[in-house]
Structure 1
Amino acid sequence: MAEIQSVFSNYVVSEALLTKTLPYLKKTSKPIYARNVYSFIGYNYYNMYDYQNAILYHRKAFHLPGSSFKKTLILTDIILVYLAQKRYQEAAEILEILASKKITFKKDPQSSEKLYFEILNNLGFCYYNLKINGSLNLYNKSLKANLKLDNDFGLINNYKNLSNYYLISNPELAKEYAKKSYQRACKVNSATNKANSLAQLIKTTKGNDLKKYSLDYIKIIDSITKGRKQAKNQFSTIKYESKKDKEENFQLKAQKAENDLQLEKQKKRNIISYVIIFFSTVSSFALYFHLTSKVKKEKDKLIFESEMRISGKLHDELANDVYKTLAYAEKIDLSQEKNREQLLNILDTIYFRTRNISKENSPIITNENYNIALKEMISGYKTSDINIILNGFDLITWNKIEKNKKIILYRVLQELFSNMKKHSQATLVSINLKKDEKKLTVVYNDNGVGTNKKTTISKNGLQNVETRIKTINGNIIFDNNLEKGFRLTFSIPL
């Protein structure tokens, strides 16, 4: 976004956007992000004629780790600021060092070639202004190479500098070089370069041609100004329309969800098929857990036994409810509206219980999206009566934690929240995470009715929590000293 604003000459807006990135630069180990941010800030200051700050941020970018080619690119940015300040001696000292050793960019050798001959051209420009011999030789060497590379942008500057060199000693030759610079600028259709080349042509031209080039110059400057204004307005419109579209999409999603709910309640004619689908779903879950048990590793044996208890829950509770529903459907008169509504309510209850069990036992995402999946699971327990607070969650480097330990953490928190919702009557839950080099520590708190460890484990099913933690050599502490509420602390070795 900052780069787009900079292209549209919105340098102040671009800088404001870049400033928002600064707190996050400390959280990444990759210097490319900080280097890009500092370079763009320096570029914005350069275009706002704040040369002191431009150099400051380019130097910040230069001191970050990077290849010789990248550091050379940053130095050329600093040299542009020096040239704008007419600090030709300081610019020449850096350019002489860069010109003495040719830096090669292996991924794109032609880019390093173009950069090298740009350095020679700029060094020639410094020599010319310092009245040091050798500027013409450097200009011609750079020109010859850029002609071979067909480097339009390099040739624009070559011809412009040569035109300026011959401005007094050979006006006709100066005019020819100015024309060539303008022709190359027209070829690449660069408005800024065309304006600069026309300015040079005006210096070398007299008579009718002078009037023609002057009018062209005024026209292109007006075009640039108008284009930038239009770009600013267009960008503002895009931002407005994007925000508007998002709001409309949220409204449509809410409306669609409401319509889906109404349609679901109207499917009375599919009652028997509905029951069969649920029975098949229950059977599929039981079969899935039975087959999975054959391929589990020894290390996950205790965890799997816990999952089998959930499978038993499916069979004992839901299957029994399905059979009862089938018997109920056979006995009652479904032609009566009251009986059909009663049957639909029973089916809805079975559906939501099945869906909840499905969510509790669905495969867990352990890739780079793990933190998102974990947050979504936790947020699923938040209601208008239950508030959940997470502390330290975003400070954990999740991709450095082993896959099986991510699964354990996910299931343990899921078990705690499930137990809270069923038994504790809590209205506030907090999760605090803290990581050091050896372990990840998690503290669970709620303001529910509270209980002692023995009752907690036997009645509320938190034996599973203790079992899971022990399978990875973790520690778990139940706090029994609270007057009200429940606290549990566990740590996972890393």
Structure 2
Amino acid sequence: MDYSKISFNPYSLIFIFLAFFLPLESLAQISSDSSRYYRKAIISPVNPNDLPSGINFFTKKKEKDLELNDTLNAIYDLRLLSIAEFKIGNNFNSENHIVEALNLIQSIPSKDTLINSRVGIYNQLGRIYRASSNHVEAIKTFERALLIANKLKDSVIILNNKANIYKDQLDYINALGIYTILHEKRLQLNDEQQLAMVVDNLGYVQSKLNLPEALPNLKKALHLRENNHDLTGLHSSNTHLSEYYLDREDTVTAIFYAEKALNLSTKINSSSFKLNSISHLMNLSNNPLIHEYKRLNDSINNAKQVAENKNAFLKYNVAEEQKKTQASILLQEIESRKRLAYQSLAFIIFLILVGSYFIYRNRYRKAKIEEIYKTETRIAKKVHDEVANDMYKVMTTLENNSGIDSKIIDELENIYTKTRDISRENSAIDLRNDFDLQLNDLLLGYKNNKVNVITRNLSKMPWNNVTEHKKSAIYRVLQELMTNMRKHSQATFVTLVFKKEGAKIQIIYRDNGVGCDLFKKNGLQHTDSRIASLNGTINFESKQGDGFKASIII
């Protein structure tokens, strides 16, 4: 054997050193530290990898504990695995871990030493029932846990979860009764995380009952959770605050908190949290198609729940059945395929509805813009053909009548000029050919001995790639800005700079006029609506004596 080719891994050397020279107590401490680290990753996840890494660690630990016949630790491992899978959204796996833990408990002769484990396992099973909308079994399981709970902390958690069932059933009075009792025990809790949980749920129920203490309690819970960096708790707080403002028709603030909750669900890496956040954001939409999607999706999920019939005590006989039969394995495979089929169907329906919504919105917006353009053009033609022409005929007749005061003729001429200007400002635009030349002619038409108009990069813009709707809006908005300048600003200098910003066009207008009161906008009321109809933006900057600026992005 050629020993010169043997390579040494430094990490292996470190492990050999630890194994031979460290006492067994030190190695046990290392294992204990790892358990505490990954337990925290599951109970209070901070990073997206916390839950998956916790599952990986305790899966291996459970297998090792079972090999060593360490049943107590194996039960502990299974409980944490169930909590982690539940947070990710894998309720099926979460339930299997609970069933396996209950089987192990049945195998131990003396169960008095397992009170804390049994309390935690029943509480987790109740949460799974709640997630499955099996409220009757959930309450029974929570009450079963309460019968054996001997610590205030455990009792608070279980009672809080029981009150959550009443909250789900919209029975806010019963829920309020439990939350209020728990809140009165807050001085005995000495646990800010539990206190935040109770205060948040209390505030939520109070908000549904329109009680004045609701918002202060919701914000207090949010503050406590921010101080403790409790991401799962912050997700709940932001969701409840969003619903609080939604109930009071403050959609802007509701969306703000809902988006914060969605960001937290991504950070926690929980599918169930993310689905809840997206579902809540859908509730904030005014689009009937999205609400129809939610209704169909909820209906499919309910049907899926019935098909799965996933109930730990009904599906498994914990006291007697110790092994899974081949039939149960096949049943799981069938249920898994059903679940996949329902999810695929829901996704297809979602894509159809979203696609239909955007097509409908785009067509509606285009039709609306075309209608406005046709209306403006029709009015302009009518003003020119009927009002202006009739006015001109009257003026001609009066000019030939020597007895008419010249001031009256001058006034009529002013009216005729205004009528002609209105017609020109709303006349038809040729949007297909040489748009840059037409726009240049429009802008330079406002140039005279008193006003100098300068444009930059107008001819360099890719006008051929711009839709007719956008060209029309740009033409009309600049026409309104220039007309406003001529009538009100007393400007002597106007600049218009055109820029390409990605897929959008930016236009910056400036003049050196007297400025204006932005609250009045001096005849620019229509510019906002024109730009907004194309999902663009227009911002005004001005103050008396310091010129006027408008920035357009379309």
Fold shared per TM-score above 0.5: no
Kindly indicate whether structure 1 or structure 2 has the higher relative contact order, using CA contacts under 8 Å at least 6 residues apart. Answer: 2
State TM-score, norm by structure 1. 0.39
State TM-score, norm by structure 2. 0.35
